[in-house]
Amino acid sequence: MIDALTHLDFPSFDRDRAGIVARARASGVTGWVIAGTDPAAWARTLAVARETGGFPALGVHPWWAPRVDLDTAIADLEARRPQAIGEIGLDRLKPGWERQQKAFRAQLAVARGLNCPVILHVVRAWADVRAILRRDGLPAAGGMVHGWTGPPAAVPEAEALGLMVSFGRGLLRPGRSLESSPRVSLDRLLVETDGEPAGLVAVVRALAVRRGVEVGEIERVTAANALRLFACRG
Ligand SMILES: [Zn+2]
């Protein structure tokens, strides 16, 4: 299994990172994406990815966007030529809407230039993200919406734009994630914990039950999709 979104670089994991990696491997999780959030921590994101065997992404998360010097961050991002860009996106529940949009569009442009996949954080902002992607365009390498909480009817729109759709612990309770999960095509389905990778077992199980398929099929398909998305480099 591959965990399509974690933040194992966060200092809160410093105390037990080796234990987290050991538990992940013991649970059958063989890979994890570590998504950046804050330019000040990008070096740490890369170091933890190297140390744990994770796949790094660098980005200015919409929660950080209002506090970051965007020009400096974009220059830094271009210089680092990351393998993936994220988390980037829009969050209606957080402040700094104008700056969130600026940061999102500028980073999308870098991703198109590098042709690397993007990891999108979208909260109550699907229509806004959709409009920007339609106007500006996604990199040919594609991307994923992490922790999908959009309406089920928006799943085909995301797929038509070229996105994969990732589900996390939202599947463990009733709600939009659970309702949306059967609508995603098998070749666009991803799973994530946004936390400890060993927790992926419960997410995969919930997804298999909801879709009425074997756990092994979800494991295989989501791992293959993650490898395809993140190996892609033009
Ligand atoms: Zn996020």
**What is the CB neighbour count within 10 angstroms for residue 136?**
12
pTM for the model stands at 0.97
Ligand 1 centroid from CA 217, angstroms: 26
Cis peptide before 217 (omega within 30 of 0): no
Number of domains composing the chain:
1
Identify the domain containing residue 31 by its residue range. 2-231
Q: CA end-to-end span of the chain, whole Å?
A: 25
Going by C-alpha positions, the residue among 203, 181, 199, 180 that lies closest to residue 191 is: 203
CATH number for position 74: 3.20.20.140
pLDDT per residue of the chain (234 residues) written in tens, 0 to 9: 999 999 999 999 999 999 999 999 999 999 999 999 999 999 999 999 999 999 999 999 999 999 999 999 999 999 999 999 999 999 999 999 999 999 999 999 999 999 999 999 999 999 999 999 999 999 999 999 999 999 999 999 999 999 999 999 999 999 999 999 999 999 999 999 999 999 999 999 999 999 999 999 999 999 999 999 998 654
Ligand 1 centroid from CA 76, angstroms: 21
Evaluated on CA atoms 22, 119, 108, 175, the torsion sign reads negative
Measure the CA–CA gap between 22 and 44, rounded to whole angstroms: 20
Ligand 1 centroid from CA 209, angstroms: 25
Measure the CA–CA gap between 110 and 200, rounded to whole angstroms: 31
Ligand 1 centroid from CA 207, angstroms: 20
Q: What does 174-220 look like in DSSP terms, one character per residue?
A: SSHHHHHGGGS-GGGEEE--SS-GGGHHHHHHHHHHHHTS-HHHHHH
Beta strands 163-167 and 85-91 are: unpaired
**What is the CB neighbour count within 10 angstroms for residue 69?**
10
Ligand 1 centroid from CA 19, angstroms: 24
